[in-house]
Each structure stands twice: as structure tokens, then as C-alpha cells.
Structure 1
Amino acid sequence: MSNARSKDHSSALDARFAELVDEFSSPIARLARGYEADESRRLDLQQEIWTAVWRALPAFEGRSSHRTWIYRIAHNVATTEALRGRRDRLKRATPLESVAGRPEPSRDVERAAEGREALLRLEASVRALRPLDRQLVLLFLEGFERGEIAEITGLSPENVSVRLSRLRAELAQSLRKEGGS
């Protein structure tokens, strides 16, 4: 009887985990991209995050939403990795390929390339931030409200607002410098 109950509990955990992976795989992939430029390291980080979620799932008590709980785990894992130095904190975006000798691109292609280049510069700037600042920016970009960010990070909502305001200004200035404007 105890064995059957254990199997049922294990099956329920497996199903719950599968649901969480289905629901949060894209946001976790975006979060990992904010921490890692290198694709293989980014995939390793995602795997480490999901392993940590799997290990913590039996202890989940429902005091917060699954979303908040998973992001807290994800950011803790990513921050730990960054602080351990096992990951390269900053990898500059690879410059666009040289277009010398090619036909002149259309304005639409130029705009798309400029947009991709700006996104790569933003990603590199975010990866260059200190772990807590990176966490705040990534949560903000994922659409979390300041109260949710406060719950995930352990900061007060007011501190989150002040830090985010400073970080947005810092990133804007960094992008203006890098963009040559």
C-alpha cells in the first residue's frame, strides 16, 4: 500500500513538473539568454535551473505562485553560476558580417539589421550588470510587477523601483555610447 501511494505521489510530481516545463520553458530560455551569450552554456544553465526546480518541487507549499517560485529558483541558480565564475559574465556580440562587395541592402534589411544589432548590444549590456541588477532588469523585461520582483528578490518594492529607474538610465546611456549616438 505504501509502495502504491509512493508511486502515485511520484507520478503526480512527474505530471506537475511536465506542466511547469511546458508553461515556463520559453521564459526560462529568455532568462538564461540574459545570463549567457554562449548557446551551449545557456542550454547547460537551463538544464541546471530545471534540475533545481525538480529537486525543490516536492517541498513547494503554494505560498507563492508557481511563476514567482520558479523565477526565484532560476535567478538563484543563474546568480550562483555567475558568482562562481563558471560562466563568462560577458561575451560581446559578434559583429555583423562584413558586407563589402555585396549589393547595397534595402532600407528594410538595414532596419532589421540595426534592430538585431541593438538587441545584441542590450543583451551584452544586461549580461555585464552585477547579478542582482541583472536579475532586476530581466524580471522587469519579463513583465513582472515591482511587488512580484520584490517577492522574488527579497528587496522592498520601493528599493526595486529605485534600482530599476537607475538601471534603465544606466542601460540607455550604455546603449547610446555603444551605438555612437
Structure 2
Amino acid sequence: MARGENTLHKAPLSQDDAYRSAAEEYGRAIDRLARGYEADADLARDLVQDIHAELWRSFAYFEGQCSVKSWVYRIAHNVAVTHVQTALRRKPEALVGLDGITELAARDDLAAQTEAVQLRHRLLATVHRLKPADRQVMLLYLEDLTGAEIGEVTGLSAGAVATRIHRLKNLLADTLSHEGDSQ
């Protein structure tokens, strides 16, 4: 090696190594994301497997166009949206956008569950009712991605992301306050 050459340059990771690293770091987030898109536990596990398979394939052509985090979320959400759209073709459901949701899902009446667990289930049920594009933004927001990162994953502008998040937060707050008034 010639004097003065940069010895700190690392070789790019192999497809397998890149996938393993991403799966280790973002595996739990992928699990949560799948549960956010799929209410049925067995189908959610299938969705996780589909996401991991596509993520592994995607590292064959990943060239660092964005952060690994954004790449993982982009792949995961694209697979999940395709999953939802395929399920809708098989069994159409009444999905609504942010403008159409008027109430949170009914509370679970299981006495053993705490209020926090009940709230999480109601919120997740509400998220399941959203159209895929709105669901994607909300799930990414719940994963603590910034507006810019959400925009990078979804292709929306940061302003459009901020608007959707603001509208959804207001809608959820209004719904929860009305629900609290009726109890």
C-alpha cells in the first residue's frame, strides 16, 4: 500500500451482510409495522416474512441513494401497501382516509387489560381503517421518523407530511375527547 493512502476505507457490505445488519437493527420496527398494516396475527407474520424477503432482494441493488433506515422503511411500506391492496382485491373492506374517519374503534371490554393497552388497541384499530397512504404516514410517524425521513420514504413533501400528521393528531385528539365525554 502506498504511503498516504486511506486505509480506513471499508469495502461495501455484501447483500447478505447488509441484509443481516438491517434486519438486526430494524427487525422490531418491521414487526410493529406489519402489525400496523395487518390485524390478523398469522397474516402479520406472513407479511413480516414477505418484507424480509424483499428487503434481502433489495440490497442487491441498494447503492446508498438514501439512508439505510429510509431504505428499510421504504421497502417495508411498499411491501405492506401491496399486501393491503392484494387483500382488498380478495375481500374489499371499507377503508377511509383522514377525512372519513370519525371515531376510534370500540374499546376492548377485557377487564384484565390496562387503560394503556386498551388505548393502544383502539389506536391501532383506527390505523387499520386508514387508506394505505395515510396509514403509511401515521405508522412512520409512530416509529419516530422525522417529516423529512417520512417524505423520503413516501415521496411526499415534508409540508404534505406535516399536514397529514397534524390533521390525524387533531382527529385522534377530538375522537378521544368525545369518547371520554361519553363515559
With normalisation by structure 2, the TM-score equals 0.77
Per mean C-alpha deviation after superposition, the further-off stretch among 15-24 and 58-67 is 15-24
Is the counterpart of residue 58 in structure 1 residue 38 in structure 2? no
Identity of aligned residues (%): 41
Counterpart contact for 1:136–1:160, Cα < 8 Å: yes
Cα distance in 1 for residues equivalent to 2:30 and 2:155 = 20
- Displacement, 1:175? 3.5
- Displacement, 1:18? 1.3
Cα distance in 1 for residues equivalent to 2:69 and 2:55 = 11
What aligned pairs does 1:111-130 form with structure 2 within 5 A after superposition?
A: 113-130=114-131
What SS is found at the alignment partner of 2:60? helix
What aligned pairs does 1:27-176 form with structure 2 within 5 A after superposition?
A: 27-85=29-87, 95-97=108-110, 113-176=114-177
Aligned-residue Cα RMSD (Å) equals: 2.4
Alignment gaps of 5+ in structure 1: 1-10, 100-108
What aligned pairs does 1:3-14 form with structure 2 within 5 A after superposition?
A: 12-14=14-16
Is the counterpart of residue 22 in structure 1 residue 24 in structure 2? yes
- Displacement, 1:178? 5.0
Question: Which protein has the bigger helix share?
Answer: 1
**Residues 1:125 and 1:161: Cα distance change in structure 2 (over 3 Å):** same
Number of residue pairs the alignment of both structures matches: 158
What SS is found at the alignment partner of 1:165? helix
- Counterpart of 1:95 in structure 2: which amino acid? D
- Displacement, 1:21? 1.0
- Displacement, 1:15? 2.1
Cα distance in 2 for residues equivalent to 1:124 and 1:53 = 26
Cα distance in 1 for residues equivalent to 2:149 and 2:42 = 30
Deviating beyond 6 angstroms after TM superposition, the runs of 4 or more aligned structure 1 residues are 87-90
- Counterpart of 1:20 in structure 2: which amino acid? A
Alignment gaps of 5+ in structure 2: 1-12, 96-104
Cα distance in 2 for residues equivalent to 1:146 and 1:134 = 15
